[in-house]
Every structure is written in structure tokens, then in C-alpha cells.
Structure 1
Amino acid sequence: MASAEIANLSGLQKAAILLISLGPEKSSAVFKHLKEEEIEDLTLEIANTRSISPQIKEAVINDFYEICLAQQYIAEGGIGYAKELLENALGADKAYEVIGKLTASLQVKPFEFVRKTDATQLLSFIQDEHPQTIALILSYLSSTQAATIISALPPESQADVAKRIATMDRTSPDVIKEVERVLESKLANLVNQEYASIGGVDQVVEILNSTDRGTEKHIMEILEIEDPELADEIRKKMFVF
């Protein structure tokens, strides 16, 4: 059940859950090896993460371990060598799944930027598009995002879009790029104003309290610009912890 649930999580969401699971001390050590924009994205995602079940935490940690194992095997002897060792360790089906994740992560997926957009907000931008365009976009979203959007479409459009997704075969890369370009342009000024629950803020406070002063200062400066209220809430809690 947990494995099915994490399949709908983005890489950023999984990374946030992993860092929460590791705790503030180990998470702050990880931050030291990341780029500034990665730290910013992860900090906001952690702050926006609500309660996580032990099963989800365990599934994310196992997922991370399996991918690390695959990366190690690939570095030692290539894809074929990694596949053989993973089959022995995890079984053929799991080995195929892990290798697939790893090779897919080396490529930028179409509409990756849309995965960070709230489904309700995205709906307002695409609901008047041609059903084939909507079907194309939904086919690249997580099942949770796609379900939210297709449920909110007019009843007469829902089956049409679902049918187009089901019967979609191959789409020209040029068409995909053009739809991406238009949609990204529409979303360029969209600001997501949904922020964290109190629990998420507490987790960020713990991590920031464990980071070096420079990292903490940089993150707080960015938060002051992007969300002054959240920054103020974090700062108040930092004096309490």
C-alpha cells in the first residue's frame, strides 16, 4: 500500500520525507552538499509537508536505499552488471523497477514544471483547452493531480479526455514542446500561496537550528522575500527551540 502511495510522490516530496526521517542533524549535513536553489526548494517542501505515516517513511527510505545500491552497481560495472546484481538481491521485477527509475531520472520529463503546481490552479489554465491538449498534459501528471483535474472538468468532457488518454499512442516531441511552452508561459506569474502546517514549520526550525550560520541566514533571507509571514513564524520558533 505504501509503495503505491509513494509512486505518486514527486522526487522533491520524497527527498523532503527522507530528510524529515533522517532528523535535523543528518539533514543539515546533507544541505551542505546541495545547491542554493535545491536547499530553498527542499526547505519550502519540508515546511509544507504534513504528517507522514511510518509506512510512507519506511517506503521512501527503502526506495532511496535501492536507488543508491543501483547507482553503486552501475558505477562498478555498468547497467548490465547492476541489473544482474539487483535481480539477485531484489528479484527480477524490483530490479527492473529500480533501474527504470534511475535511468528515467537522468532525463527531464515533459511538463516537469507542472508537477509543482497546485491541481486546482492548473485546472483554471487548461480547462478551456482542446480535450486532446488536456489529455496530453494529464498523461504526464501524477495520478493524484490528474484525478483532481479530470474530476473538476464538465461531465461531458470527462469521458472524452479519459478516452483520449487511454488511446494516446505517440506524440511528436515538437507538439509536446509547444504545449509545454504555452502552458509554462501562462503559469509564469503564478504564485503558490499555500504554506506549511505548524508541524512542518517545527521540522524546518529544527533543521535550521542544526545548519551552519551561513546556510541559515541564506534560507531565511529567501523566505523573507518569498513569504514574510512564514519567515516570521520560523524566526519566532527558532528562539523557542
Structure 2
Amino acid sequence: MMDFEDFGGGALSTKPLSQAEKAAAVLLAMGKGVAGKLLKYFTQSELQNIIACAQGLRSIPPDELLELVNEFEDLFTEGTGLMDNAAAIEDILEAGLTPEEVDGLLGRRTGFESYEASIWDRLGEADPVFVGQFLSREHPQTVAYILSQMPSSFGAKVLLQLPDNRRADIMNRAVNMKEVSPKAAEIIEKRVMELVAAVDAERASNGSAKVAELMNELEKSQVDTLLTSLETISKEAVNKVRPKIFLFEDLLYMPQRSRVLLLNDVAADVLTMSLRGASEEIKECVLSAISPRQRRMIESDLAVQPASLNPREVAMARRAVAQEAIRLATSGQIILKEEKPAEAA
């Protein structure tokens, strides 16, 4: 391993060079080809020290430089300029190291890497559907890279939002992903910044979601009344809010597979209470999605009419089922609604 002390010697000018400065001067004088081959003999800390020295190196006259590199006279060219030291040392590094190693030594990616940590965290809090729609317009290689940087659980949800005919290609690209060059990383960085900005804008302006959250705490009759009143003011507002509302009665429009996953995760006593006073259609919808044993138990309980039925307890049970459905849908485990069949004329 090359040691800075190998460039020892007495003071060569009124302002003596440090050992690292001497090493930087010699490397700069050698030129890219030869100096690049010598870089592998330095440790990373030594290289970083040399780079720092090279960027602030004073002008060195040829005679002083000759004394430093007398053992390399065959490689020294009289009059070598040392004015653009930062650019010259970068050229030498690029000749002897890989682009990734050069980037690491020069700290090119440091700022972006710290930024990456924050943008992936912020994306993880976004709506997978929104992110998927945004990425569906991007090149498959860009999508593959972005997905590979996301937390795996969130990336999987986003992948499911992409068109079926693109998923295999994107997954293949992600599996065979090679080191991303600084230029490509810069391009992707800009797109990710735009995506984060779009997510923030969507979240800030998504008043319809906030209204829907409020309505999801109400009973169906109350929601219907509010939507009717809102429609007299703005049909567009109703169209934005209605798809985001999910009530107990909306179990009728949930895909069967999602319904099974949901209802088998809800306590039997909660389901029993939620079905008190419900229509036969809702009862059958719920009972057909649970196990035969649990169905028999609930049917037996429903057959016994309580002395008094507390409407508030029924409403709370139905709200608990609806809120659990919203939670599972938000995490990507179920689908809340499928399109309602067209009603007969």
C-alpha cells in the first residue's frame, strides 16, 4: 500500500506541501493513464484526503514539481498545468475507478441518497392506486427502479395497480436491475420529486375523502339525506364523495372473495348484532360469506329476539364492520366495491 510518507523530503518552497499535497501533485502531473493505475494502492481515506488537497492545491512551478517526481521523469511532461486541479483529479479518478466508486469518493450521490430516504418514506404513506396510476405512464425501467426502492409491502400494492400486460416486464427488469448511473439517477430523482409533489397535492386537495370519512361514521339514512342535500348544490361534489363512502349496507356490492376475508375476521357477536333488523338480502349476503359452523351459531342467535333492541348498539356493530372493511381495503387486502349491475328498465 502506498504511504504518504513515501513522498518525504524537506521543505521545497516558502510554503511546504503536506504529504497528501505532494501525492496529489504527483498524481496530477502523471496524467490520467498512469495515475489511474496507481489509485488502487491507496485506501479510501487516503484518496479522499488527496482529493481534498488537490482541489485547493497551490500553483506549483515545474522545478519544484520535478523534485517531487524525479523517480517518474519519463512520465513527467514539462509545463503540465495545475490550474484546474479539481477537474484534473476527477479525470484521473474516472480513469482508474468505476463510476460508482468515483461518485462515492466525490460525494456526488450523498445529497440524493439522503433525499431518497425521505421520499421513499413519503411515498409509503400515499395511496397505492394513485401512485400506480402515476407510474403507469412511465418507462418500465423507471418503474422497476422506483418499485425496487420502495418498502416491499407498499411496492407490492403499487405493482398490483399497474396494467396486467406490463407487470411481468417490470418485474423482470427489477430482478435484473444493474447499478444505476448518476445521470439516470438524476432523471429518476426528478420524476420521483414530481410524484411526491403530486401525492402531496392530492392529499391537500382531497376534501371529498375527508367528507366521506365523516359520512362513514353515520348511518345509511343520515348519509342518504346528506347526499341528497349536497346534490341540490353540486352533483359533481356528490360524484366525488359517493365512491369513497362505505357503509354496512355496501357489503352487497363487495366482491365475494373480499367479503369472505372481511367477515371471517369479525367477531361473531359483532356480526350477530349488525344483522339485527337487517334486510333478508343483507343477512344472506353476510351469512353466505362465513363458515357453516359460524352461520349456524349466528342464525340460532338471531332466532331469539331480545327483550329490547338498542338501535345504538346495532349502529355501532355495523359501523365496526364497515370500518374494518375500510382498514383492510386501505392496506390493499380487499376490494370494497365492484361495479353495481345495471338496473333493469
Q: TM-score, normalised by structure 1?
A: 0.33
Which structure's relative contact order is higher, taking Cα pairs within 8 Å and 6+ residues apart? 1
Higher Cα Rg, which structure: 2
With the length of structure 2 as denominator, give the TM-score of the two structures: 0.24
More helix by share: 1
